[in-house]
Structure 1
């Protein structure tokens, strides 16, 4: 008997429809509106659709997300840049591996909420209304370090030993081994780590904004909606966060497939 295999887009569509159905049933059965109020902790998909499109709040979504996306992008560049430099140092100076690994682990294990509170005091928030928060940039950067350091080091070490020996025999230095052999071998691992860091940086930026010292962005918008007990608005912003994070993740995945076609079994 031949097994029918759905294409990827169809499976994703069915999965999304199933999640929406479960969400709707959960909003009906698990939570009920309190008497005398219209508040419910879990709004139905129809309430979220109404908040976004019927009330027209989707039109102002970019104004809300622009500072957050900007902070996430800046933090992403700083965090991954530092991580790549640290991973490169390990290859050139192997004795630094323990120190670099410990630094990466510390950035991963630090309680981000506590660090965010200290960051608000030290680096502050947005200098001007509409500017990205310095705390959001800092947290977006720090949450990217661990995965990129580990992924880069593992990628650099996946280089073919025979190719490294050829470079060494012809008088090549450790730097030449890095640029001619290790970097090519490490590209898939590095790019995968950078792809994972996209939604991570976005989450760090949202948390940084949520801690305050900023007037525009996802964080203050969520605080305002929570204070108003606007559950449909909170869930709408939450879903839009997921959409923006997935779009960034997908774009980075597309870049991975273009830059490293051999990983997907395609020819360049």
Structure 2
């Protein structure tokens, strides 16, 4: 018997795109978050004043103007480090999420494995990275330790998001697939995958900054010549405060770009979520 069930948007709890003037206005221009813009501007002004007057002699907190000058004057030297950290974080993010998704799907198809999968993931993630780093350095070559630490940093988050998404399905839809002769895999690909997209992309967003952090920690441990972590350690040793702050801002921006990029992709692939929130 061939199963020809198509997912029902209404049964899955998703709302169609609104039409008419309301839908046009909702899909139109987005409001500029002026309150957030004003808060950022106020923080920058406060930072500039504190850096110039309160910490002028100690140089513990350079003003943002000095940090910006450091970035613009030496940005060419930072590009190599940015590319190295981005590459390691991206590969770790891909590997970690792939492993988490595979484990999550298996755990949902075979429910008796779910508790064991979660326990193992929590136990592995709870291990201190500082202790795992030297082990990865001995067993892996090149950028392997950085990629492994980045992957380890994202597994638990994506695993939880995958399992939560795949199990947050209306039982009526699962019963319908079963009544039509569908298997557990048919339930997975025709019902669960679509329902899992919003929690899954939420986990992917959170895992992007975690992957960047894992890659930078891997660079702290040595055996690599490029990366934001390497540049940060060198700046600390040379007491280059402006450069330390500049590298910290670059790492923050890199994590933020990853988060925003995944959020944009998730918004494009799950338009019904935004429609439900707006109604």
Q: TM-score range by the shorter chain?
A: 0.7 to 0.9
Q: Look up the match of 1:94.
A: 111
Tell me the distance in 1 between the aligned counterparts of 2:180 and 2:172. 13
Q: Look up the match of 2:68.
A: 49
Q: Look up the match of 1:33.
A: 57
Tell me the CA shift for residue 109 of structure 1.
1.3
Tell me the CA shift for residue 27 of structure 1.
2.5
Q: Look up the match of 1:196.
A: 206
Cα shift readout 1:82-113 (whole Å, capped 9, x = no counterpart): 00011001111111112100122123311112
Tell me the distance in 1 between the aligned counterparts of 2:46 and 2:153. 32
Say which structure, 1 or 2, has more relative contact order (CA 8 Å, 6+ apart).
Answer: 2
Tell me the CA shift for residue 225 of structure 1.
0.9
Tell me the CA shift for residue 223 of structure 1.
1.3
Runs of 5+ unmatched residues, structure 1:
1-5, 35-39, 127-132
Q: Secondary structure at the match of 1:214?
A: coil
Across the aligned residues of Structure 1 and Structure 2, the Cα RMSD in angstroms comes to: 1.8
Q: Secondary structure at the match of 1:172?
A: coil
Trace 1:60-209 onto structure 2 (pairs within 5 A).
60-124=77-141, 126=142, 133-209=143-219
Runs of 5+ unmatched residues, structure 2:
1-29
TM-score (norm 1): 0.88
Number of equivalenced pairs? 248
Q: Secondary structure at the match of 1:265?
A: helix
Tell me the CA shift for residue 244 of structure 1.
1.4
Tell me the distance in 2 between the aligned counterparts of 1:11 and 1:145. 35
Tell me the distance in 2 between the aligned counterparts of 1:173 and 1:12. 49
TM-score (norm 2): 0.84
Q: Which runs of 4+ in 1 moved over 3 A?
A: 6-9, 28-32
